[in-house]
Amino acid sequence: MHQLLNEHFPGAVMRCEKANDHALLSTQNGVMLRVEAITDHVLRFRYTAKGYFEKDFSYALDGKHRSGFNAFEQGETASHYLLKTPVLEARISKEDAKISLFDAAGNLLNEDEKGFHWEENPQQGDNIVKMSKRSLTGEHYYGLGDKPSNLNLRDRRFQNWGTDQYGFAKDTDPLYRNIPFYYGLHKQGCYGIFFDNSFRTFFDFASERKNVTSFWAEGGEMNYYFIAGSSLLNIARRYARLTGVPELPPLWTLGYHQCKWSYASAEELRGIAERFRALRIPCDALYLDIDYMDGFRCFTWHPENFPDPKALVGELESQGFKTVAIIDPGIKVDMDYAVCREGFENGYFCTYADGPLYKGQVWPGECYFPDFTRPAVRNWWAEQFKGLIGEVGLAGIWNDMNEPAIMEVPTKTFPLEIRHDYDGHPCSHRKAHNVYGMQMSRASFAGVKKYAYPNRPFLITRSSYAGGQRYSSVWTGDNVATWEHLWVANVQCQRLSISGFSLVGTDIGGFTEHPSMELYIRWLQLGVFHPLMRTHSSGDHGEQEPWSFGEEGIELARKAIELRYRLLPYLYTTFYQYVEEGTPFLRPLVFVDQEDRNTWFRQDEFMAGDSLLVCPILEPNRLGRRLYLPRGLWYDYHNQTLMEGGKEHYLEIPLERIPIFVRAGAILPHYPVQQYVGEKNLEYLDLHVYRGEIPQDSYLYEDQGDGYGYEEGAYAHKAFKVLPQKGKYRITQHRSGKWQSPYRHYRLHLHGFESAPERLEINGEPAPPEAMVNSGEDFYLQVPENFHQISLRWPVA
């Protein structure tokens, strides 16, 4: 088989040159392996069979990931070289350079099967670089971005090659995004592998050979990061440290967004805005798809349909709506169009190898395509947003078609020989394809950020590469209005979240075809828990606004969206945790409790943040479903029933609800319903206290919701701790940051307590009787926002 494939393997290791934080090994047949300690938990492995290493460069890394000086402890046995950090040990065989990785306790985490090998590819002149690992007994796999397949990747093969997949299906591969990062989990431990290679990459998770997992690329370097951690969640955080996180988005980003292809005139958009407010369905953002432009020329406006965009956007803004508009990469070939002329004159567009400009067909007809992998081009592109953002006042930009997608060619994209700068590392489209969308969104981000300042930028992109989360949110692309796609939406958002991209969402209701009322409502209910909650549709099959499904539909849609607005402070805090610590916003159950084997195959249920567990209804005519609660105690959010985890439950659930559970011991902040973020001045904040039996922490992060004041300390971070004792429930609060919350009081709503407390103490003093408010139905404790400690007391029998 090896002969057939013309594969080559490293020979015996001849030399191991040691430096403090890396080692360079050379084999008898000229293979070099560089092992580097990025941190104690992260080792990097780089191989070359060419006799030299290419200049080290990556779009994925955020540049801030190296934390000081990381030394290896280096050793040697008769058969192996040993490289150790305090938590990880790599043993490299002297005979064939194969690697095994162990944790500090000596447990095997991962080991090479064939290890690094390569195939010469004379057609392309580059090597196909390959890696194969042993799949350990009972090993399972997660991650890999947006794959619309089972969450657990075992027994599957995938590839990364950003592709415009209109109306994709369950298991379609590849899709729009390229995220070559996965997790392995087995009974000895877990790890992450990030294969930082932007060529077309492939993965096989014990599919073709049951005890082997392999990954390979059509060119470039075998260059991967091995990430250790005591839990999948910690590995996710370390991956985020490596590849970055976004800035905090403006709070309105977490509101409800309404989109369609297209709201085609200013009148139509005004009508949509009015309808939201008249029906009292909350909404923060409205979108303009390609028809706002003049002949699909980016950065222009259709003169008749949008005669005065600035006035329109201002008017919407005054009603509490932000406007977001689409920008595609294709620039219409038209020398009377300034963007085209400038790009042409400056040589900013992509060319063939022998120089001629590449032209491809997209919406405007023949287009040129900026080479976003060139810094000068990105700067120029960023400046184009001066008009849309700086002058017209759009609040965000939507980047589409940036796989890049080309119409009417079988490959759906650029010819492979198209040249790219790759930030001074010139290459062909083979290498740049998978980063093209990411670099477009990077350039757009720079422009939106510059011209939206002092407001925060908002970006949404269809294609991206690992690390692209630093620049833009993503949506999952052209899905379909079917129940199967609701399942796909759930899995894709969880998977993207553990793959570094937390700011994600789907086209709610489906992009193509028309959803039934029931499907639309179930999808909207799931969307409440996706960081990006946006309805979008292709617009050729009837209306898809929250009022498009009859009176009952309006009620149900309003209810779902209102829940979203109530949960905003919790969702924002969860987002803050992602930005601060890299903790995924959405957490599959295996990321919640990996010690519990039952979670390894669960995929319907997930946690959104620390305290809420969600399980969507994914089938029609369902007024109930089976679901699994992780170990611990949970409250049914809708009726406060206490439920025991570590097992399956059957739950009845009407169409107006989605199953949601709150972790016992949690404190969950709620806002009042607003029609848009910032509509109301908050006079108090509702804190829902769910009785737990063990001490537990909950958090609340607040700031102005926009602008950069938080970088100068204008934020409030509140850490609550509950301390249950006999006859007493104590809650402490530790506040940090210099921002004063707009309200002066919390209203504490108690859940799971047998009776109202007999006494309340605030900061060690008995509280005045009016602090316990009993207004008929509603009972709450009114406590000052700056409390340090409160105690609820009950008589002890």
Q: How far is the CB of 175 from ligand MIG (least distance, A)?
A: 11
- Residues numbered 170 to 199 that lie near ligand MIG (CB under 6 A) are none
Residue 477 touching ligand MIG (CB under 6 A): yes
Q: Which two tokens stand for residue 117?
A: 């090998």
Which has the closest alpha carbon to 658: 493, 529, 571, 516?
529
Q: How far is the CB of 536 from ligand MIG (least distance, A)?
A: 6
By beta carbon distance, the residue nearest ligand MIG is 261
Segments of 321-399 assigned E as strands: 322-327, 331-332, 360-362, 365-368, 396-399
**Residues 6 or more apart from 365 whose CB is under 8 A from it?**
296, 332, 333
- Residues numbered 563 to 582 that lie near ligand MIG (CB under 6 A) are none
Task: Select 218 or 289, whichever has its Cβ closest to ligand MIG.
Answer: 289
Task: Select 364 or 553, whichever has its Cβ closest to ligand MIG.
Answer: 364
Residue 462 touching ligand MIG (CB under 6 A): yes
Q: Which two tokens stand for residue 494?
A: 């969880």
Q: Is the dihedral of CA 661, 667, 669, 670 positive or negative?
A: positive
Which has the closest alpha carbon to 763: 779, 794, 738, 785?
785
765-766 and 715-725 strand pairing: unpaired
Measure the CA–CA gap between 786 and 90, rounded to whole angstroms: 50
Measure the CA–CA gap between 595 and 231, rounded to whole angstroms: 9
The contact pattern for ligand MIG, residues 262-301, with x = CB under 6 A and - = no contact, is: ---------------------------xx-----------
- Residues numbered 247 to 266 that lie near ligand MIG (CB under 6 A) are 261
Which helix (H) or strand (E) segment is 557 a member of? Answer: helix 550-566
Q: How far is the CB of 456 from ligand MIG (least distance, A)?
A: 23
Angle, nearest 10°, between helix axes 550-566 and 517-527?
0
Q: How far is the CB of 329 from ligand MIG (least distance, A)?
A: 12
606-608 and 256-258 strand pairing: unpaired
Which has the closest alpha carbon to 414: 400, 401, 397, 425?
401
Task: Select 36 or 164, whichever has its Cβ closest to ligand MIG.
Answer: 164
247, 579 Cβ separation under 8 angstroms: yes
Q: How far is the CB of 583 from ligand MIG (least distance, A)?
A: 29
Q: How far is the CB of 376 from ligand MIG (least distance, A)?
A: 28
Which has the closest alpha carbon to 276: 480, 554, 500?
554
Q: Which of 289, 291, 403, 604 is catalytic?
A: 403
What is the separation of C-alpha 292 from the centre of its chain, rounded to a whole number of angstroms?
28
Task: Select 203 or 363, whichever has its Cβ closest to ligand MIG.
Answer: 363
198, 94 Cβ separation under 8 angstroms: no
Task: Select 246 or 364, whichever has its Cβ closest to ligand MIG.
Answer: 364
Task: Select 289 or 513, whichever has its Cβ closest to ligand MIG.
Answer: 289
* Helices and strands counted in the chain (H then E): 13, 53
The contact pattern for ligand MIG, residues 417-456, with x = CB under 6 A and - = no contact, is: ----------------------------------------
Measure the CA–CA gap between 333 and 349, rounded to whole angstroms: 11
- Residues numbered 616 to 675 that lie near ligand MIG (CB under 6 A) are none
**Residues 6 or more apart from 227 whose CB is under 8 A from it?**
41, 42, 191, 192, 193, 194, 235, 238, 239, 242
**Residues 6 or more apart from 311 whose CB is under 8 A from it?**
none
Task: Select 218 or 400, whichever has its Cβ closest to ligand MIG.
Answer: 400
Q: If binding means CB under 6 A, how many residues of this protein chain bind ligand MIG? A: 10
Q: Which two tokens stand for residue 788?
A: 């340090």
Q: Is the dihedral of CA 233, 236, 240, 246 positive or negative?
A: negative
Residue 146 touching ligand MIG (CB under 6 A): no
Measure the CA–CA gap between 497 and 499, rounded to whole angstroms: 5
625, 647 Cβ separation under 8 angstroms: no
Pick from 126, 139, 218, 478: which binds ligand MIG (CB under 6 A)?
Answer: 478
Q: How far is the CB of 290 from ligand MIG (least distance, A)?
A: 4
Task: Select 400 or 702, whichever has its Cβ closest to ligand MIG.
Answer: 400
> Residue 185: what residue type?
L
359, 323 Cβ separation under 8 angstroms: no
Beta bridge partners of 65: none
Q: Is 553 helix (H, G, I), strand (E, B) or coil?
A: helix
Which has the closest alpha carbon to 116: 128, 108, 106?
128
Q: How far is the CB of 334 from ligand MIG (least distance, A)?
A: 19
Residue-by-residue DSSP string for 410-431 = TTSS--TT-EE-TTT--EEHHH
Which has the closest alpha carbon to 36: 72, 78, 4, 75?
72
Q: How far is the CB of 541 from ligand MIG (least distance, A)?
A: 13
- Residues numbered 521 to 550 that lie near ligand MIG (CB under 6 A) are 536
Check residue 584 and report its DSSP letter. Answer: -
Q: Which of 139, 218, 291, 400 is catalytic?
A: 400
Q: How far is the CB of 412 from ligand MIG (least distance, A)?
A: 11
Task: Select 326 or 653, whichever has its Cβ closest to ligand MIG.
Answer: 326
Q: How far is the CB of 646 from ligand MIG (least distance, A)?
A: 41
Q: How far is the CB of 159 from ligand MIG (least distance, A)?
A: 20
Task: Select 202 or 292, whichever has its Cβ closest to ligand MIG.
Answer: 292
Q: Which of 173, 328, 478, 706 is catalytic?
A: 478
Which has the closest alpha carbon to 255: 623, 658, 712, 575?
575
Q: Is 403 assigned a catalytic role?
A: yes
- Residues numbered 301 to 330 that lie near ligand MIG (CB under 6 A) are 326
Check residue 512 and report its DSSP letter. Answer: B
Task: Select 478 or 604, whichever has its Cβ closest to ligand MIG.
Answer: 478
Task: Select 142 or 256, whichever has its Cβ closest to ligand MIG.
Answer: 256
List active site positions: 400, 403, 478
Residues that bind ligand MIG (CB under 6 A): 261, 289-290, 326, 400-401, 462, 477-478, 536
